[in-house]
Structure formats: C-alpha cells, structure tokens
C-alpha cells in the first residue's frame, strides 16, 4: 500500500529535522525508518523598505519570494506609536514576472512597520520586519522655481561675456 503524509515545515527552525516513520504490518511486525530532512524557512523572502515615502502618493513595495507557487503573498503593515504597533492591515500582493508587488497609500506621516507573509498552503512564512518613515509631501512653489531657473540661465551668459573680455585684453 502507498502511504501519504504531510507536515508543516514552517513551524520548525532552519536546520535538520529527524523524521521517524514506524511501520506495523498486518502480522504485528514493527519496522522503524529514520530520515533527515533539511528545513529552510529563513531567507526565502527578500524585500527592501522603500525610501522617501510621502503622504498622498502611492508607493510600490516589491519582494522576491524564493518559494515555488505559494497560495498567496500579503504585506502586513502597522503604524507604530510610541513603540507600540497599532492600526494594522493585511494587503494582498500581486505577481509580475519574478516579483511580487504591493501598493501602499499613506494619509498620515509617521513610522510604519511592515513584513511580508507567504501562505505556502501548509503553513505561513514571514519576512523580517522593516520600518518605513512617511513624511508629508512638500509642495513646490512655482514662482520661486521659475526665478531660480531664470537666475541660473543668466549666470553662464555673464561668464561668457567676462571670458570674451579677458581674451580681448590679452
């Protein structure tokens, strides 16, 4: 007869696990088999926290998941207030090519902590927590920007006039 079994390897630390299988035949004979299983759960999720995150703008977080065909990939994000996590959300991520993406939109500035959770179908893997600093978006003042650009355009012209005058003298 064929015998199938399943187990949740996500509940174990990385390293070797000893699997013991005890078989009893119909006459009562007992046989025990031992097999070493290599468990690897850490380092299967790669993600870098985005920098320069502003309120009111959609920010894309990406991750590489080194696990074949997971059931789902989600981002867990929560705001930190005085070292305590609050207002947590679970956001589904979508796959494009070899990457998983999740879109974040922040209304309030502050510090947020996120991790990526992978549902393997028989357990869940989680990445390390990372911190995102969200600041309010700075408005660009159009008038000041135009004045600055026109001032920069005048400087090279003045430099060229001085250069020509010095060459004619010499």
Distance CA 167, CA 161 (A): 10
Top pLDDT among 153 and 149 is at: 153
* 52 phi/psi in degrees, rounded to 5: 55, 55
Q: Which residues contact 34 (CB under 8 A, 6 or more apart)?
A: 18, 19, 20, 21
Give residue 50's pLDDT: 85
| E strand segments, 13-71 | 15-24, 30-39, 45-47, 53-54, 58-65
Does residue 150 carry a pLDDT above 50?
no
The DSSP code sequence of 71-89 is SEEEEEEEEEETTEEEEEE
> Which pLDDT tens digit goes with each residue over 56-99?
889 899 999 888 888 999 999 998 887 777 778 899 999 988 89
Q: Where are the domains of the chain?
A: 9-39, 45-135
Half-sphere exposure at residue 33, Cβ-oriented, CA atoms within 13 angstroms: 5
pTM: 0.62
Distance CA 148, CA 36 (A): 69
Give residue 149's pLDDT: 47
Give residue 158's pLDDT: 63
- Structure-block tokens of residue 87: 């207002």
The hierarchical CATH code for the domain 45-135 is 2.60.40.10
Cβ atoms 92, 100 nearer than 8 A: no
What strands, in cross-sheet order, belong to the sheet with 94-96? 45-47, 58-65, 99-105, 94-96
- Structure-block tokens of residue 98: 């070899």
Top pLDDT among 7 and 21 is at: 21
Does residue 120 carry a pLDDT above 70?
yes
Give residue 151's pLDDT: 45
């Amino acid at each position: 007869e064929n015998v199938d079994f399943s187990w949740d390897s996500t509940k174990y630390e990385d390293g070797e696990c000893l699997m013991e299988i005890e078989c009893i035949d119909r006459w009562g004979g007992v046989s025990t088999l031992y097999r070493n299983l290599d468990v690897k759960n850490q380092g299967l999720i790669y993600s870098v926290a985005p920098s320069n995150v502003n309120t009111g703008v959609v920010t894309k977080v990406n991750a590489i998941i080194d696990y074949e065909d997971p059931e789902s990939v989600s981002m867990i994000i929560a705001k930190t207030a005085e070292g305590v996590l609050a207002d947590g959300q679970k956001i589904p991520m979508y796959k494009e090519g070899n990457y998983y993406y999740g879109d974040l939109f922040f209304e309030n500035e502050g510090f947020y902590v996120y991790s990526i959770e992978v549902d393997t179908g028989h357990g869940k893997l989680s990445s390390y927590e990372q911190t995102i600093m969200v600041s309010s978006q700075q408005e660009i003042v159009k008038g000041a920007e135009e004045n600055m650009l026109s001032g920069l355009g005048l400087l090279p012209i003045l430099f060229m006039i001085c250069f020509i005058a010095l060459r004619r003298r010499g």
